[in-house]
Amino acid sequence: MDVEKQATLAVKSAEDIVRIRREVRSWAVESKFSLVDQTKIVTAASEIARNTLDYGGGGQLALEKVRQGERRGLRLTFSDQGPGIPDIQRALTDGYTSGSGLGLGLSGSKRLCNEFYLESKPGVGTTVTLIRWK
């Protein structure tokens, strides 16, 4: 997979989440995503950014415009050094929440993207990678 453009954004505050939403939308428009696909990637980015802040204590987003053969897309990699997720399968179950949310953030984000990868180690942190192809 080739990276055509990249940026790193902090996830340290609610204002950062707003900035991430705006930046992801801008990149999706630049990549000529349909309005529906723009909405899907922005919504997924917002959910995972919120989790990174609320459960991971903050972290960063690596935002990349990628190409694989003829396919073009956006890859978002959120990482934190928080407490980690002890049971990934359970965390990906609709309705499961370790906080006060609806329990749809991870599972909903997975459905909104074409590719979804979650790595987490308790005491080390979590990395969530989302890819939406145009």
d(CA 90, CA 73): 29
d(CA 80, CA 36): 29
d(CA 112, CA 110): 5
Please give the residue range of the domain that contains residue 30: 2-133
pLDDT of 68 > 80? The answer is yes
- CATH number for the domain harbouring residue 53: 3.30.565.10
Report the chain's mean pLDDT, rounded to a whole number.
92
CA atoms within 13 A on the CB side of 126: 24
- pLDDT tier at 92 (50, 70, 90 boundaries)? confident
Number of structural domains the chain divides into: 1
Residue of higher predicted confidence among 63 and 105: 63
Amino acid at 45: A
Q: What is the reported pLDDT for 103?
A: 43
Provide the sign of the torsion angle of the four alpha carbons 50, 111, 41, 82, taken in this order: positive
Angle between helices 35-54 and 105-112 (to 10 degrees): 150
In contact, 46 and 21? CB cutoff 8 Å: yes
Q: What is the reported pLDDT for 129?
A: 98
Going from the C-alpha of 14 to that of each of 40, 42, 82, 109, the distances in angstroms are: 20, 15, 17, 19
pLDDT of 104 > 80? The answer is no
Q: What is the reported pLDDT for 26?
A: 98
Quick: pLDDT tens for 34-62. Answer: 999 999 999 999 999 999 999 999 999 99
Point out the least confidently predicted range of 15-19, 64-68, 101-105: 101-105
Q: Which residue has the tokens 């997924």?
A: 44
pLDDT of 17 > 90? The answer is yes
In contact, 129 and 60? CB cutoff 8 Å: no
